[in-house]
Structure 1
Amino acid sequence: MRTRATVRQLAAETGLSVTTVSRALNGQDNVAPHTRELVLQAVGRLGHRAPRRRTGRTTVYVRCPYLLTDYFGIIVSAIAEAADLHGIEVVLNAGEAAQGSDALSRLPGRSDVDGAILILPPEPGEDLVRLRDQGVPFVVVDPRTAPPRDIMAVSAAHFTGARALMAHLVGLGHRRVGIIGGPREWLVTDARTAGYLAALADVGVLPGPSLMRFVTEPATEHGYRAACTLLDGADRPTALVGFNDKMAVGALRAATERGLRVPEDLSIAGFDDIDVSRATHPTLTTVRQPLAELGRMAVTLLTRLLDRHEHDALHVELATELVVRDSTGPVRR
């Protein structure tokens, strides 16, 4: 790890006063954005604050500002189990109410916490950069936006998984495929959409706006509504791909209401391979994310940060797997 640059060294590097540099590092509001960026660039050149050495029992702060459902619950459970194997205690901050808290800003001042794991953090990248520069070792699981420079992150190979799923549909003869995407501002939405489009482009197809819908929340009801609009169009798609399994379940409901047989009249696929994908009728074709491994890998990466190991790979992607079940079939002639 690089050694910590002092405030005076940063001041000399930037030509700013020691007071201004200190304010920028502490995230105070009375610092102009370009000044803060100047200081952070100097931190990147000279070295950032070194993580604290582990002494005795280690405590890790795990933040998951979402309901611990069959998606986030799997990740958090895996983190807790892996942390226990490493002799690490976990302090959990979870639930939707946690989205409005100032948990990140208070982390640097907590003497009872040695590091943090942040799951799909809703905070902007600047907040993560500030946390890094304040000396808190942390790992991001499934980043919502592109990870800032020098931020350790782990996610699934969303692009590769989405491309494999669409290639499966293309191989079944589907060319008019409706895409139900997640929130537009999420990094994972961009990656999965790009994967879908890449597989279609391989056979010379580029779906227009009429075949694409994006939702504000990746939930079953939003998938249902988006599927309704796609299926009620003048030229109905022969297949639908949902951002996740829950949205695909909503699409199944929309198809049933319209008397469409799956997969005879319409193929439907999801993403994630959570329990609901095996409970539907027909069972869902989907892409398996290694959710538990995401949690375990986050603990492994954090322990390396805490032990001050060198890192060459800062953003780790774990392989996904196409799971073909009964909800997809050949296009109806």
Structure 2
Amino acid sequence: MASDSKRVTLAQIAESAGVSVATVSKVINGRPDVSQQKREEIQDALRRHNYGGFRDDLRVYPTVELFLGMGQFSVYTAEVLRGVIDAAALEGVAVVASRRTEHDPNVDPASWARDLAAVGRRAVVASTADPLARPIVDALRRARLPLVLIDPESRPDASVASVGSTNFTGGYDAAEHLLALGHRRIAYLGGRQNLACVQARLHGFRSAMDAAGNPVSDELIRFGTSFDMAEGIKHGGGLLDTELAPTAVFAASDTLAVGVIEAARRRGVRVPDDLSVVGFDDTLLAQQMVPPLTAVRQPIPEMGALALRTALRLAAGEEIDSHHVELATRLIVRESTQPPRD
């Protein structure tokens, strides 16, 4: 007779199968880094003990892999996760999130892709600033797992679907807003210089400045190694310490903008009285800042939701209208910007 599922513990299942509790947990959660033989032994033990009504018919419960890379978990990542999970709930599928620190597809792309297919993944959605190497993309294709990228590092080829936002327009709108307030010495602070979104935001910013007859000088353009607040403090401080400091800064993320504001505070520079700051993303961080941050809203949850729905359409063998879709950004004006002092 099967044991009472309320009394059976993971430790008992692990002992029955001769493995660790962590390995049992991986099987229950559909993680791929367990050998097929050991997976079957654990699944058999779960069935024998009727653990939580366990069943391994993954076709009844389709899942999508959300690959988040190895970057620091941030407010941006949380917004992506929210969008993907909410869309998955409406579509009746489950989401399993993974990071490169847990399982590195670069080690053996073919095995990684085969393992994902073996445990019932229908598709892979990737949201990572780190580029997916070509062997990984090819391995997923061979495993017949559709791949959709969110805001990729560079524009992928037409064989890979991706979702982004109108980064150029967002950069243009940020500069136009500051110019309309009367600012002329406006700086740009981006993340990693080779990221497509960082360059697109810079090009939009430059275009607005040039159109106004106020081209930006090279000394007012800085790039960090990431979008972290620490980079905003470092490079924002560098901008404020120039001989003729800017009266406004457009930062390519909310976290960079928060770093700029902190750098200003440390120097006794008041925001927005002495310095106006515009961010990009419009996460909860922007709304909770003091003062609340003017920011270009990037529809991050909507991007995650669209990526999930696109992945499911591809998994079902459907045609999609475009392999790259950009959702519209818009400027949200709050209290971190105002006209410059005379």
TM-score, L = length of structure 2: 0.76
Match for 1:71 among 52, 69, 76?
76
Cα 1:328–1:121, aligned 2, differ >3 Å: closer, same or farther? closer
1:35-92 CA distance string (max 9 Å, x none): xxxxxxxxxxxxxxxxxxx964422111112344321112113212322322212222
Shift of 1:105: 3.9
Q: How many residues align?
A: 280
* Structure 2 unpaired stretches of 5+: 1-57
CA distance in structure 1 between the partners assigned to 2:191 and 2:268 by the alignment: 26
Q: Could you say which residue in structure 1 is the equivalent of 2:135?
A: 127
Shift of 1:302: 0.9
Question: 2:168 is aligned with what amino acid?
Answer: F
1:232-268 CA distance string (max 9 Å, x none): 1111111011121111111111112222222222111
CA RMSD of aligned residues (A): 2.1
Q: Secondary structure at the match of 1:303?
A: helix
Shift of 1:221: 0.9
TM-score, L = length of structure 1: 0.78
Question: 1:311 is aligned with what amino acid?
Answer: I
CA distance in structure 2 between the partners assigned to 1:109 and 1:100 by the alignment: 11
Q: Is the 8 A contact 2:128 2:150 kept in 1?
A: yes
Question: 2:128 is aligned with what amino acid?
Answer: L
* Matching of residues 108-119 of structure 1 within 5 Å: 108-110=113-115, 111-112=118-119, 113-119=121-127
Shift of 1:118: 0.8
Cα 1:228–1:313, aligned 2, differ >3 Å: closer, same or farther? same
Shift of 1:319: 0.9
CA distance in structure 2 between the partners assigned to 1:77 and 1:294 by the alignment: 10
Q: Secondary structure at the match of 1:308?
A: coil
Q: Is the 8 A contact 1:68 1:95 kept in 2?
A: no
CA distance in structure 2 between the partners assigned to 1:251 and 1:94 by the alignment: 29
* Matching of residues 98-247 of structure 1 within 5 Å: 102=107, 104-110=109-115, 111-112=118-119, 113-120=121-128, 122-124=130-132, 126-127=134-135, 129-131=137-139, 133-134=141-142, 135-247=144-256
Q: Could you say which residue in structure 2 is the equivalent of 1:326?
A: 335
Q: Is the 8 A contact 2:156 2:162 kept in 1?
A: yes
Match for 2:91 among 80, 86, 94?
86
Question: 1:82 is aligned with what amino acid?
Answer: A
Match for 1:315 among 309, 315, 324?
324
CA distance in structure 2 between the partners assigned to 1:70 and 1:318 by the alignment: 19
Structure 1 residue 59 and structure 2 residue 59: aligned?
Answer: no
Shift of 1:98: 5.2
| Larger Rg belongs to | 2
Shift of 1:141: 0.9
Point out 4+ residue stretches in structure 1 off by more than 4 angstroms. 95-101
Task: Report the identity percentage.
Answer: 32
Cα 1:103–1:298, aligned 2, differ >3 Å: closer, same or farther? farther
Structure 1 residue 271 and structure 2 residue 259: aligned?
Answer: no
Question: 1:212 is aligned with what amino acid?
Answer: I
Moved more, 95-104 or 293-302: 95-104
CA distance in structure 1 between the partners assigned to 2:179 and 2:133 by the alignment: 37
Shift of 1:95: 6.6
Q: Is the 8 A contact 1:121 1:140 kept in 2?
A: no
CA distance in structure 1 between the partners assigned to 2:133 and 2:334 by the alignment: 38
CA distance in structure 2 between the partners assigned to 1:299 and 1:103 by the alignment: 25
